[in-house]
Amino acid sequence: MDDLGFYRTRSLWLETAGDLTPRPALPGDADADVAIVGGGLTGLWTAYYLAEADPSLRIVIVEKDIAGFGASGRNGGWCTPFYGPAIQTIAEEHGRDAATAMQRTMIDAIAEMGRACEADGIDAEYRMEGAVISATDLAQAGRLREAVATFHSFGFGEDEFRVLTAGETDEHVRARGVVCSLFIPHAAAVNPGKLTRGLALASESRGVKIHERTAAVSIDNQ
At 51-78, the pLDDT tens digits run: 999 999 999 999 999 999 999 998 999 9
Distance, CA of 149 to CA of 141 (rounded, Å): 12
Instruction: Tell me what the pLDDT averaged over the chain comes to.
Output: 93
Per DSSP bridges, beta strands 127-128 and 131-135 are unpaired
Distance, CA of 19 to CA of 54 (rounded, Å): 29
Mean pLDDT of 107-130: 96
The answer, yes or no, to whether residue 138 has pLDDT greater than 70, is yes
The answer, yes or no, to whether residue 3 has pLDDT greater than 80, is no
Mean pLDDT of 26-53: 96
Domains and CATH numbers, the chain: 1-76+192-222 (3.50.50.60), 78-190 (no CATH)
pLDDT in tens, 141-156: 999 999 999 999 999 9
Helix axes 192-205, 41-53, angle to 10 degrees: 30
The β-bridge partners of 211 are: 62
pTM, two decimal places: 0.89
Compute the chain's Rg from CA coordinates. 20
The answer, yes or no, to whether residue 220 has pLDDT greater than 90, is no
CA end-to-end span of the chain:
42
In single-letter form, the type of residue at position 53 comes to: A
